[in-house]
Amino acid sequence: MTRRDVVRALGALGIMGAFPLPGLAAGRGEAPFSVESLPALEGELTLYLGRGEGGLYEDVINAIRDRNPGLSLQVRRGPTVALANTIVAEAEAGARQADLFWAVDSGSLGLVSDAGLAQPVPEALGAGLREGFRYESWVPVSGRIRTLPFNSDRLSLEQIPEDIMALPETDLSVGWAPAYGSFQSFITAMRLLEGEKATREWLLGMKARARQYAGEFGVVMGVSRGEVDLGLANHYYTLRLLSGQPDAPVALAMTRDDAGSLLNASGAMALTERPLAMDFIRYLLTAEVQSYLASEAYEIPMVSGVDLPEGLPSEDRIQPPELELTRLADMRPTLDLMRDAGVL
């Protein structure tokens, strides 16, 4: 698929008018689905949508609606974890309402999957996904990597440890957002990989040198203003800042093979046996939608052959740990640990 094909197909989806795409590289191969190859969606669906990505997910949904006038799509919005709990509670009460769940983190998907409410993903649907991101009950839509954004006027890349567990041993000031869901998933990953004792010690060691922010874009802004040396944040906050302020003194560092480089994902699952739900998910995996989310939201495309967002560190520096993402649903021990350490 050429860039012209991508642009034309996005126009057909109704996305291009409001959000022009920047230049896209050629990609490494064909995506398994294109918008033009998919059947029309007809019928009624109810989608539970976790809040996220500044309305870009809403733009994708509206584009799908515009292309499929025979689709009657009802959308319920809310925090991802709250919606996951609602789906489980409704099922237990015998009052299922959601046909689809699009969550901004894999832990919430794991919670619903563990309750036995998700439909199995057809093998053909998962065939084009990146290696290591194929699941039986849900489909990853886009990814986000934990990173260490740092102030490039103060530090060089070589001054930042490549082991997240070594960070408390440095004299660096750090910005973090403990109340933010992605941070809590990161701590859950640390707890699963390193154990509760080591995670508690890490939190206590970091607490003395950390400055708290309400969200992770605030963390990156604090780094750029020199309020802290570096921060803990998903990669796309830095890329979005640099897209608007290319001269901001912020760069990305990454740890290797630990919770500090966790590659988490948003994803979707079908909660009904009706094929219409899985057909809707197919739209989210088209080259057009994946390219749009990569170029506008700076998220990691989950489909092979779609380029990584511009400004992301080279792939040889991206070394996430091996961790079954749905295990991140085990959040309660993490919250207890964070409260015990006094960071929540």
More confident residue, 51 or 305: 305
Q: Please write down the HEC assignment for all residues of 166-183.
A: HHHHCCCCEEECCCCHHH
More confident residue, 129 or 74: 74
The rounded mean pLDDT for the chain is 87
Q: 258 and 290 share a domain?
A: no
User: pTM for this structure?
Assistant: 0.81
Element (H, E) at 73: strand 71-78
Q: 137 and 160 share a domain?
A: no
Total of domains in the chain: 2
pLDDT tens-digit series, residues 30-51 = 445 788 889 899 999 999 998 7
Q: 127 and 214 share a domain?
A: no
- Rounded to an integer, the average pLDDT of 288-297 is 91
Q: 7 and 132 share a domain?
A: yes
54: confidence class by pLDDT, cuts 50, 70, 90:
low
Q: Which of 274, 276, 180, 175 is nearest to 226 (CA)?
A: 175
Q: 215 and 332 share a domain?
A: yes
Q: 74 and 119 share a domain?
A: yes
Q: 130 and 161 share a domain?
A: no
Q: 269 and 243 share a domain?
A: no
Q: 248 and 113 share a domain?
A: no
Q: Is 237 annotated as a binding residue?
A: yes
pLDDT, position 180: 85
Q: 207 and 332 share a domain?
A: yes
127: confidence class by pLDDT, cuts 50, 70, 90:
confident
Domain region containing 209: 145-262+323-340
pLDDT at residue 207 is higher than 70 = yes
Q: Which of 33, 18, 92 is nearest to 287 (CA)?
A: 33
Identify the CATH number of the domain in which residue 125 sits: 3.40.190.10
pLDDT tens-digit series, residues 3-20 = 334 334 444 443 433 222
Q: 242 and 289 share a domain?
A: no
More confident residue, 224 or 316: 224
pLDDT, position 50: 87
- DSSP code string of 24-43: ----SS--S--GGGSPPP-E
Residue 197: CB atoms within 10 Å: 10
Dist. CA 330–CA 326, nearest whole Å = 8
Q: Is 180 annotated as a binding residue?
A: no
Q: 135 and 282 share a domain?
A: yes
